[in-house]
Amino acid sequence: MINNALPAFLNSDSSLQLIFFGGKGGVGKTTCACATALQLATSQPNKLFLLVSTDPAHSLRDTYAGLTLPENLEVVELDAAAALKNFKDRHDQVLKEIAERGTFLDDKDLQSLMDLSLPGMDEVSAYLEIAEWLQLKRYHCIVIDTAPTGHTLRLLEMPDLVRRWLVGLDTLLAKHRYIRRHFTGDSRLDHLDRFLLEMDNSLKVMEGIITDQNCCRFVIVMLAELMSVEESIDLARALKLRKIPTSELIVNQLLPTSDCPICSARRNRQMLALMVAFKQFHEQQFWALPLLAVEPRGRTVSLLWTQAVQLSKIGQLSSSTYALPLRVESPCLLPARTAKLIIFSGKGGVGKTTMACATALRMHKQYPGLRVLLFSTDPAHSLADCLGIKIKNSPTQVLPGLDAQEINAEAAFDEVRSEYRDELKEFLVGALPNIDITFDREVMEHLLDLAPPGLDEIMSLTAVMEHISGGCYDVVVMDSAPSGHLIRLLELPAIITDWLKQFFSLLLKYRHVMRLPKLSERLVDLSRKLKALRVLLCDPDKTSIYTVTIPTNLALEKTSEMLASLHRLGISTKAIFINQITPENGCELCQALNRREDRQIKKAREDVLFDRQQTRVFLHSDSGGLARLDALGSSLYRN
């Protein structure tokens, strides 16, 4: 280990314009981002800094609670709905003009499409907002607290999505542009052409900055735990493919050497996980932050980087062979055999995947003959890491009668796009073989590129209905995306239904222009499954939601917010698993952590929505692999 140094992204002479903090949920991204923004602003009072959260479950202001921020630091928690409204208010007329020139839709149809609420706008709006801030050059540096891994990757993939939109919009203008040039000789760019060029230029500026190591840094934050390390490896690989610089890596909550058998056992696990990390990360500089008895919040955030230590090698393994025993208090009632859908929800990094896997194994054992599917909707899948077996995009057998699936939402929607284009080509060749409608064909080909973001995710979610209604499985146990994205996913059925209604009305109204029976059939099927899904989600006899949290102030507050959101959607939670509780023992650090956690759990109980079955799961040895997951499942539930 090397002391008395700081990570390069904190250098006041740095030319960095963007600093991303990313990684698996619950690793401390928000804390690191807040501490970095605060230190940069404090050390450079004559420069303006911006701290931004792109996570739907924001926690910047909670982390800064009670702390007076310097005047040169602005904090923004991006609101997707507000960003979309702002985008529409600014560009509604331009987009409508483009559509009017390039489609056969009338004013009423155009307005109804423009008025639709689009899901999935958190990543889109975040990317466009950041791109605009960079172009304005108001801030010396922007620090970004990202959503958990899967959705961060979607954020960084936004140029592809937005560029597809721009190609679609440019295609709408191509016909008008050709006619104007052919009949009037006028080839000048008008205000609509300039709008598209400006949008495209904004994307190019953003892409140029995020791939320049002098301007951008993506800091991966992880815990010294095997699942966190594995997800960080996947994230680093994806960032490298996109040529995004990742020269520093933060290992958070590292335990000190200790005579305490519990601390020694936990530290040994951390060192073993770091061995894997050091073998995989060759280009990154490792920095460690210690596990603190006092949760970093408010004033303590400003002291975070004074604790940083550069890691140059793995620490010594303790000779202790102490294994943390599995201890569960107040096990909850096992879901009934008649349950159809069991969803595990919670903040990232709290143990949803582990609980989902353990529950699927317990139900498989408890109810002989029950056909169980373990299903992941999290873009950063971790079922395979947890189970210790390779999981495919299609159902993969774990045990006879128990399958697992990690759905690839984007691939499923690409298949729909491909089918649509094939059907469109077949229709145009058969219906209009002797007529050249080049521009109209291109407009129709790009129609699905203008579909709302989030449609791919909801199509993957309706795969659950196929499994249940098709009779393939009796129950689906779902490992969901982190809380903010789960709420969005549960809101999607109603939003997508509105989009489908509008799309159906257009297909019906213009059936003499565009006859696409296969697409219509596919969308009718999607609409039917959405309706069935909405009914299933609100049926407490068939759908059970179990919330997983950990005993930190921030996690418990976010759990309360999620419970309120679920309640607003008419969805109730069966029970709450409070995971990773520190066992009581004579160690000073363990005692301090246990007291802190107990206070925070008691405070959380003041929330009326928190007053339900609570199962306490204490820190124990790694739950990965089928045998350990089976033991956990047996302890979590009573018959």
Q: 270 and 242: one domain?
A: yes
Which of the residues 13, 55, 200, 456 is marked catalytic?
55
Task: Give ∠ CA 573-359-454 in degrees, rounded to 5.
Answer: 60
Q: What confidence tier does 563 reach under pLDDT thresholds 50, 70, 90?
A: confident
405 or 503, higher pLDDT: 405
In a domain, 110, yes or no: no
Domain total of the chain: 2
Domain of 584 in residue numbering reads as 328-410+459-494+528-638
Q: 151 and 44: one domain?
A: yes
3-state secondary structure of 376: strand
Kind plus residue range of the DSSP H or E element containing 614: strand 614-618
Q: 349 and 244: one domain?
A: no
Q: 294 and 333: one domain?
A: no
Which of 311, 338, 360 delimits the end of a domain?
311
The mean per-residue pLDDT over the stretch 241-256 comes to: 92
The pLDDT value given to residue 611: 79
Residue 55, pLDDT above cutoff 80? no
Residues 6+ apart with CB under 8 A from 164: 446, 449
Length of the chain: 639
Q: 306 and 343: one domain?
A: no
Residue 289, pLDDT above cutoff 70? yes
Q: 373 and 483: one domain?
A: yes
Lowest-confidence region among 31-35, 81-85, 96-100, 448-452: 448-452
What are phi and psi for residue 143, nearest 5 degrees? -105, 130
8 Å CB contact between 378 and 350:
no
This prediction has a pTM of 0.69
Q: In the annotation, is 193 catalytic?
A: no
Q: 182 and 303: one domain?
A: yes
Query: Greatest CA separation found in the chain?
Result: 88
The pLDDT value given to residue 637: 95
Task: Convert the pLDDT of each residue in 512-550 to its tens digit.
Answer: 555 566 666 766 777 777 778 778 878 888 988 899 998
In a domain, 505, yes or no: no
Q: How far apart are CA 146 and CA 139, in angstroms?
A: 19
Kindly state the tokens that stand for 101. Answer: 């020139």
Q: How far apart are CA 141 and CA 144, in angstroms?
A: 10
Q: 270 and 171: one domain?
A: yes
Which of 263, 283, 311 delimits the end of a domain?
311
The pLDDT value given to residue 406: 87
Q: 279 and 333: one domain?
A: no
Q: How far apart are CA 311 and CA 315, in angstroms?
A: 9
In a domain, 425, yes or no: no
Task: Convert the pLDDT of each residue in 175-214 to its tens digit.
Answer: 666 656 655 666 676 777 787 788 788 778 888 888 999 9
Q: In CATH, what number is assigned to the domain containing residue 342?
A: 3.40.50.300
8 Å CB contact between 205 and 11:
no
Q: How far apart are CA 255 and CA 245, in angstroms?
A: 28
In a domain, 601, yes or no: yes
Q: 303 and 369: one domain?
A: no
Q: What is the DSSP letter of 474?
A: S
Instruction: Name which of 583, 519, 521, 574 is nearest 551 in CA terms.
Output: 583
The pLDDT value given to residue 298: 79
Instruction: Name which of 199, 164, 180, 163 is nearest 101 in CA terms.
Output: 180
Which of 311, 339, 357 delimits the end of a domain?
311
Residues 6+ apart with CB under 8 A from 167: 446, 449
Residue type, 307: Q
